[in-house]
Structure 1
Amino acid sequence: MNADPSTRHFGTNAIHAGQQPDPSTGAVMTPIYQSSTYVQSAPGEHQGYEYSRVSNPTRTALEGNLAALEGATHGIAFASGVAGIDAIMKGLRPGDHVISTNDLYGGSFRLFTNVFEPFGIDFSFVDMSDLANVEDAITDDTAMIWVETPTNPLMRIVDIEAVCDIADTHGIDVTVDNTFATPYLQQPLDLGADMVLHSATKYLGGHSDIILGAVCTSSDEWAEKLRFQVKSAGASPGPMDCFLALRGTKTLHVRMDRHCDNARALALFLEEHPKVDTVLYPGLQSHPGHDIAAKQMSDFGGMIAFTLTDDSIDAAKTVLSNTDVFLLAESLGGVESLIEHPASMTHASIPAEERAKIGLTDSLIRVSVGIEDINDLRADLEQAIERV
């Protein structure tokens, strides 16, 4: 498939971009090149590969695929999503300042505050749903703005284009964690972002069977920095994980349609339930960021957070402990539906006082809506909530 990916639609690129039938056998699927090293015809003369920490043909196919899906020039795969974040942060220097969303994945917060702050990188965490907070946080040392939208777990929406406009006037780079939305629903580079970060463990892989990360960019400078980090620090994904991620992206568009349909139906069901207090889903008209989400997303994703009218941790635990189809587990974005308690699970690394500041209460429940039959999902949540 040698045609320019930019001339094709998303679903075609999801299946074909970055790949072509194996020239030696005609195999349709990209082979798993399970090799650490490669023969050279003479010292320094090779076929593009020397050592698999640096690059691997299976990984190259995945990187081309992800770049096409994000409309980027470069895709760089990592051993995990946080390895990708780590590589980006290593592109900064002591004294640099980063403005980040204050509602974000707990692992990102832990990496920023526990790993990079001690090395002299300064972080400000602000509610980016109010653009004035971004403007007010900018200093002469601000080198990057870190955006999550929808945010994890409070499902806040950040106007990517508006943040990028602000950043451009100050010469600041913008990175968007696009894990929740995926490139199928949201294209941050088209809205002005410099880099897009993914935990490919989630929707891109889609089957809860890999740990993998990726950064996509059209900046040659950033791509060079990131590939240097892969080579030097060794956060390289294995070829089997890259193969499985390629398998995942082939059905991304089909899966995301079902994730969105199911989440929309469940959000409407929860909004009408007498024992549910607040439903956080950007597809609802009641969501404060709905209009911005509708502007920059083609649909609203498969993630929902909600609280109960009995706003106690015991009530939340009752629901969390009594689902059947929804599995109590961390992570998200797989074909199976998951339910979790952010305060004690995915966001436990964020101090309680910081969680309280942003409204992440101990009673908040987060669900990753899978692609099962909607009737079974609705019935499962209803019977669990009725136990409260």
Structure 2
Amino acid sequence: MKITPKITPIYQTSVFKFDDLNELEQYFGEPGSRYMYSRNGNPNSDELAEAVNKLEGGVGAIATGSGMAAIFAAILAYCQAGDHVLCAADIYGGSSSLLNAELSRMGITVTYVPFEQLYTLDEFVQPTTRLLLAETISNPLLRVADLQSLATECHRHGLKLVVDNTFASPIITRPLELGADITLHSVTKYIAGHSDVTAGVVVTNDAETAARLKQIGVFYGLTLSPMESWLAVRGLKTLRLRMREHSANALAIAHFLAAHPKVRQVNYPGLDAHPQHALAREQGAGQFGGMMSFLLADEASAVNDLMHRTKRFPFAPSLAGVDSSLSYPLGTSHRYLSSEQQQELGITVGLVRLSVGIEPLEELLADLAQALD
């Protein structure tokens, strides 16, 4: 009986069988012709990698065990001991921790570039500088990078541009089309979308870099498991629909918060007052995503009151699921920065980050209204 599944099955196996030595030689002689060991690749992780690769317009991709593993692989694709990395100062705290605490042990140094100086890198570039790491939309202040200008400046200095596209997703922005050399995602967030997967993906527009990423994934054991890959692919199929709802809900909530007397500032690219609003509109095809942050009074009690009163925005230090949540950057993602760095970036006691889900908008607005009032 022939069985032809519509959906790729879960290949929940650590190893694949060979009939004889001829098949073994085929595995090594014709890369990609068959599978041997799931750390080296499996049908589910390859399906996820190829699906995101197609969305991003790349030539090759790997799926990893987390977004942090994706950042690690992307940097190692271009760097070795003795090299130097530039990193946007407005970056996810985990990225800076990786650079500061671990990659420094491997002999890779880092310099942080203020957002306002990203497009004039002359004073930051060293002879050993290899790349710039930046985010399409920064975490948690929602600053939007002009990726085309950033790519031009990087390539003028012979640097690679690595872009964390997690906050935007490929539905809103495709960094490779704007000149980036690598784009990456925490698949845990919008791509999987249901807060039940931990995964990452790295996509490149260069075949040689794609081969290097594959090597890194195998040697460091970064390859994503079959079950997580299958769940992420299932989530990915509704990404376009979800991003539309995330964006619509977030824009309405941003307008509501901007008018509320207890909110001192709202950081959301969809607002006309946002410094990069025009860029975000052009680069994001009119969608701005579901992430935002806002400032309450700089008192822990004000933040705690909000957390205690809200019913639809539970305090959960992650983001981009179909269910809304809130987070506290000062105490979670950016807690390991020095107090000086936190102040320079504007990550203060009163800063709250919202991940706006796809629930009925009127329910989200009513909940925020009662929580703030």
Q: Is the 8 A contact 2:70 2:184 kept in 1?
A: yes
- Report the CA distance shift for 1:216/1:128 in structure 2 as closer, same or farther (over 3 A): same
CA distance in 2, matches of 1:26, 1:60: 19
Partner residue of 1:324 out of 287, 292, 311: 311
Shift of 1:349: 2.6
Residue 212 (structure 2) aligns with: 225
Q: Are 1:307 and 2:295 an aligned pair?
A: yes
Shift of 1:220: 1.4
Partner residue of 1:93 out of 80, 93, 103: 80
Shift of 1:42: 2.4
Shift of 1:149: 2.1
SS of 1:124 mapped into structure 2: strand
Q: Is the 8 A contact 1:104 1:148 kept in 2?
A: yes
- Report the CA distance shift for 1:222/1:150 in structure 2 as closer, same or farther (over 3 A): same
SS of 1:125 mapped into structure 2: strand
Note the alpha carbon deviations across 1:82-121, whole angstroms, 9 max, x for none.
Answer: 0111122223112211111112111111101000123221
Residue 78 (structure 1) aligns with: 64
Partner residue of 2:35 out of 16, 36, 49: 49
CA distance in 2, matches of 1:301, 1:108: 21
Residue 95 (structure 2) aligns with: 108
Partner residue of 1:182 out of 169, 183, 191: 169
Q: Gaps (5+ residues) in structure 1?
A: 1-22
CA distance in 1, matches of 2:207, 2:117: 31
What are the residue-to-residue correspondences of 1:1-388 with 2, within 5 Å? Answer: 25-43=3-21, 44=24, 45-46=26-27, 47-91=33-77, 92-298=79-285, 299-308=287-296, 310-386=297-373
SS of 1:223 mapped into structure 2: helix
User: In structure 1, what residue type is equivalent to 2:52?
Assistant: L
CA distance in 2, matches of 1:358, 1:133: 19
For normalisation by structure 2, the TM-score amounts to 0.94
SS of 1:276 mapped into structure 2: coil
CA distance in 1, matches of 2:112, 2:118: 13
SS of 2:321 mapped into structure 1: coil
Note the alpha carbon deviations across 1:290-332, whole angstroms, 9 max, x for none.
Answer: 1221221121110010002x23222122112221011110110
Note the alpha carbon deviations across 1:3-38, whole angstroms, 9 max, x for none.
Answer: xxxxxxxxxxxxxxxxxxxx9522111110011111
CA distance in 1, matches of 2:343, 2:107: 26
User: In structure 2, what residue type is equivalent to 1:337?
Assistant: S
Return 85-94 or 280-289, whichever deviates more.
Answer: 85-94
Q: Give the paired residue count.
A: 363
User: In structure 2, what residue type is equivalent to 1:221?
Assistant: E
Return 131-140 or 225-234, whichever deviates more.
Answer: 131-140
Shift of 1:340: 1.1
CA distance in 2, matches of 1:286, 1:213: 33
CA distance in 2, matches of 1:349, 1:227: 31
For normalisation by structure 1, the TM-score amounts to 0.91
User: In structure 2, what residue type is equivalent to 1:37?
Assistant: V
SS of 1:98 mapped into structure 2: strand
CA distance in 1, matches of 2:122, 2:185: 26
CA distance in 1, matches of 2:358, 2:340: 35
CA distance in 1, matches of 2:308, 2:151: 42
User: In structure 2, what residue type is equivalent to 1:29?
Assistant: I
**CA RMSD for the aligned pairs?**
1.5
CA distance in 1, matches of 2:103, 2:46: 29
Shift of 1:133: 5.0
SS of 2:309 mapped into structure 1: coil
CA distance in 2, matches of 1:133, 1:175: 17
- Report the CA distance shift for 1:285/1:135 in structure 2 as closer, same or farther (over 3 A): farther
CA distance in 2, matches of 1:24, 1:78: 33
CA distance in 1, matches of 2:135, 2:308: 29
SS of 1:305 mapped into structure 2: strand
CA distance in 1, matches of 2:120, 2:372: 37
- Report the CA distance shift for 1:145/1:51 in structure 2 as closer, same or farther (over 3 A): same
Residue 30 (structure 2) aligns with: none
Q: Gaps (5+ residues) in structure 2?
A: 28-32
Shift of 1:129: 4.2
User: In structure 1, what residue type is equivalent to 2:175?
Assistant: P
